[in-house]
Structure 1
Amino acid sequence: MRKLTYYVGTTLDGFIAGPDGQFDFFPFEGDLAAAVPAEYPETIPAHGRGPLGLDGVANKRFDTVLMGRAAYEPGLAAGVTNPYPHLKQYVFSRTLAQLDPAVEILATDRWPSSATSRSRTGRASGSAAGRIWPGGCWRRSTS
């Protein structure tokens, strides 16, 4: 079984989104703007990788992203159907149709067994449920 690591941005009072689902108030500047691309380059979606000099940079920690519909939809509104082509992508939704072959839509509450398989090799998996980035992540156990 792969180990679960949770990676998420929150406000100081523990919120992951504004009252109406806003996420644009999270700053991406200063130390954070330097640390995230350096330590977690795979958490940057495809459209942001080039401007940040991350094209061709290997994933360091995660190889899979799990998103809820609310985390996936802002990209869809901008015409992005494959936000993380450098990761295996799953979206949990009972209402979305399959829009891109690289993004698997799961109409279930269960984690995909292929993402947690003991026999699966690779880096940890990243997850975004609800309004979070790929927050919850599986990490392959080294023990």
Structure 2
Amino acid sequence: MQKLNLPKYDFRFKSSENNIQIFDEIRKKFVVLQPEEWVRQHIVQFLIREKKIPKQLINVEKSLKINGLNKRYDVIVYHPDGTINVVVECKAPSVNITQETFDQIARYNLTLKADFLMVTNGLRHYFCKLDYENEHYIFLKDLPEYH
């Protein structure tokens, strides 16, 4: 898999049915290793190890309804009270981050109402805080430390 612009982490892999799988410690199962999954697993480790977010506050790939359509988010970080701290949208390294990518996560966030958004393809990372009152993004250099 491609080297990403994130720290190097140790992962567990296994080979199954002609594909490689990577262990997701949040979902507690092996999942097929594809480029977007490679990015997602790095982001999960980044949140746990670099941002010190407790594993139990992280959720990966769950469904949500947006305008009656079933969608799936990549990663969500909750506050202990159950409100949403961060929504992360992961793309494969070959996918450019465009306005369309931000529009996608913004649509998800109309339902989720997170404090922060992160969009990444593993090579480039964008972080923003939501200013709900003035309805715009405030771009940040990084996510704030968890406390």
TM over 0.5: same fold?
Answer: no
Q: Which has the higher contact order (CA 8 A, sep 6+)?
A: 1
**TM-score scaled by length of structure 2:** 0.30
Higher strand share: 2
**TM-score scaled by length of structure 1:** 0.30
